[in-house]
Amino acid sequence: MVEFNKVFMIGLPRCATVSTSDALGMLGIRTAHLGRIYGEHSVEHNNPKRLTRIYDQIAAGDFDLDILRECDGLADYPACSFQVLQQLDQHYPGSLFINVRRDQEIDRWLQSVERQFIGLQLIKQGKTASDEEKNFMKVMLAFREMTFGQSRFDADAYRSAYLDYQAAIDTHFMNRGAHLLQVDIQTLESHGLELLADFLDCRDQLEIGNRFPNSNHHSKRPSEAFMLALDEGRIQSQTGIVAVRC
C-alpha cells in the first residue's frame, strides 16, 4: 500500500460518502463518517459525541483532531468543507484525498440533498426529538453552513456551492495529481473498488466477488419523513419532488 498520513473522503454530502468510507474499510483503511469509525455499529452512520467534539475543535482553530488518533481519516463533514480541507491538508502533510462527484446529475444530487437535509431536520428537531438529537442537528447545521455558505437548503445556492467547490478542488490540487482521486459517482458500482485500490496501491486487498458497497440505509428515515411532510402539505419541494398523495 502507498504510504500516506491520513485519507480524507472530501466528496460533498449525498456523493456516496458512506459507501466510499465502507469501501475504504474493505481495503483496510478505517475512516470516520460523521464521527462513526468504520467497523462500529451505527444505524445512522454517525457518532454525535465525536462529531460534536470535532466541531468544537475546529471552531476553536484546533485541527489536531482527537478522532484522527483513533482512525485513518475522515469522510463527509468536516473534510468536505473547503476551508477545513485546506487546514487538514496543511496539518496532515502527505495525506490522500478522494472526491466523488455528481457533475453529470446535479439535479438528482439536489433532490437527494433536499430529501436528506430537510428530512433529517424534521426528525432531529421534531417534538419527539431527544436533547442529544437536537444538539446533533445544531452541529450538522453548523457544518452545512460551513460547507455550503448557509444551513437552510436553497436549490440555487446549493447548486452554486457545488460548482464552486468542485472548481476550488480542481485548482487546489492542480499540480498534485498523485494526492487526489476524483471519481464520477456513476462509475463506483462497476469500478469503484478497483479505482480505490489502484490509487492506494493495494490491489492485494481486493477479494474475489467483493463489490463496491451501497450503504444508503441511513437515508431511509429522513427520506420517509420528507415525503410524509410533502404529502401532508407541510413543506414544498424546491427541486421538483412530487408528493405521492395529492
Asked if 128 contacts 118 with a C-beta cutoff of 8 angstroms, the reply is: no
The pLDDT assigned to 216 comes to: 82
Per-residue pLDDT at 246 exceeds 70: no
pLDDT (mean) for 223-235: 97
* SS3 at position 227: helix
**CA gyration radius, the chain:** 18
The pLDDT assigned to 172 comes to: 98
Asked if 201 contacts 1 with a C-beta cutoff of 8 angstroms, the reply is: yes
Asked if 115 contacts 221 with a C-beta cutoff of 8 angstroms, the reply is: no
Domain boundaries defined on the chain: 7-231
Domain spanning 7-231, CATH architecture: 3-Layer(aba) Sandwich (3.40)
What does the block give as the cell for 106? 446535479
pLDDT (mean) for 153-160: 98
Burial class (CB in 10 A: 0-12, 13-18, 19+), 39: exposed
How sure is the predictor about 170, in pLDDT bands with cuts at 50, 70 and 90? very high
- For residue range 197-212, list pLDDT tens digits in order: 999 999 988 887 788 9
Report how far residue 159's alpha carbon sits from residue 16's, in angstroms, rounded to the nearest whole number.
17
pTM higher than the cut 0.75: yes
The chain-wide mean pLDDT, for the chain, equals 96
